[in-house]
Amino acid sequence: MASPPPSAQDAKIEIIKNQVYEQCLDEEPDTVFRQQDILDMGVIPDSDAALLLAVTQRLVDEKLFKMVRDGQLGWMYRPLEDAIKYRGLTHEQEMVYSLIDESHTEGIWSKTIKNKTALHETLMRSALKALETKRLISDMKSVEHPTRKMYIKSTLRPSEKATGGAWYTDNELDEAFIEGLTGVL
C-alpha cells in the first residue's frame, strides 16, 4: 500500500527545514544556534513557535541537528555526510559514536564512554563492535596511556599528543632517531 501524499503542512516544514539548514551551513561548524537565532533567519513566518519546533524536530530526527545544552537549549548542525552516518545507528550506537565523534583526534577511553553513556558493559561493547564493523570507528594506541583501550573516528588520524609525534615509532620511543639527532647536535 502506497503511503499517503505529504500534507501541505509537511511540505511547508520540509521547505523551511531546508532553508534553515542551508543558512546554518554558512556558519562555523561549532556554532550553537538558539531559538532566537533561527527565528532571526527570517524563514519562520510570524515567528511561529509551533512551526519552529516542528522544523527543529525534523532537523534533529534527520540527524542534521544535534541538541546541545549549556545552560539553555540550542542546536549545532552536522554536515550531511556525518548525518548520513548517524541515520543507520541504533540509539546505543549513536550515543557511543557521538562521544567518539566529539573526542576528535584525541580519541576517547572505553571507560569514559561507559561512564558518560551509563550503558551496561555488554551494550557498550556491542555498540563498539557494530561501529567498528561499519568502519565508523577504530581503536587507537596512545603513548600517554598505553594500557587504555582508546577509540577514534576511522576517518581521523590521532593527534601528535596521542601518538607522541616524531619521537615515537609504532608507539615506542624511537631511541635510534633521538641518538641520531643527538649526534648531529
Residue 182, in any domain of the structure: no
Cell of 69: 545544552
Residue 47, in any domain of the structure: yes
- CATH number for the domain including 31? 1.10.10.10
Per the structure, the complete domain to which residue 157 belongs is given by: 88-165
93, 54: one domain = no
100, 148: one domain = yes
Residues 157 and 104: their CA atoms lie apart, in Å, by 9
> Tens digits of per-residue pLDDT, 87-145?
999 999 999 999 999 988 888 999 999 999 999 999 999 999 999 999 999 998 877 77
What pLDDT does 146 receive? Answer: 82
Q: How many domains does the chain have?
A: 2
Task: From 17, 6, 5, select the one nearest 51 (Cα to Cα).
Answer: 17
Residue 178, in any domain of the structure: no
Q: Please provide the average confidence, as pLDDT, over all residues in the chain.
A: 87
Q: Average pLDDT, stretch 62-88? A: 93
113, 157: one domain = yes
Q: Judging by beta carbons within 10 Å of its beta carbon (0-12, 13-18, 19+), is residue 168 exposed, middle or buried?
A: middle
Task: From 113, 111, 115, select the one nearest 101 (Cα to Cα).
Answer: 113
Task: From 157, 162, 123, 119, select the one nearest 138 (Cα to Cα).
Answer: 157
What pLDDT does 24 receive? Answer: 97
| Residue at which a domain ends, from 78, 106, 125 | 78
What pLDDT does 70 receive? Answer: 81
122, 142: one domain = yes
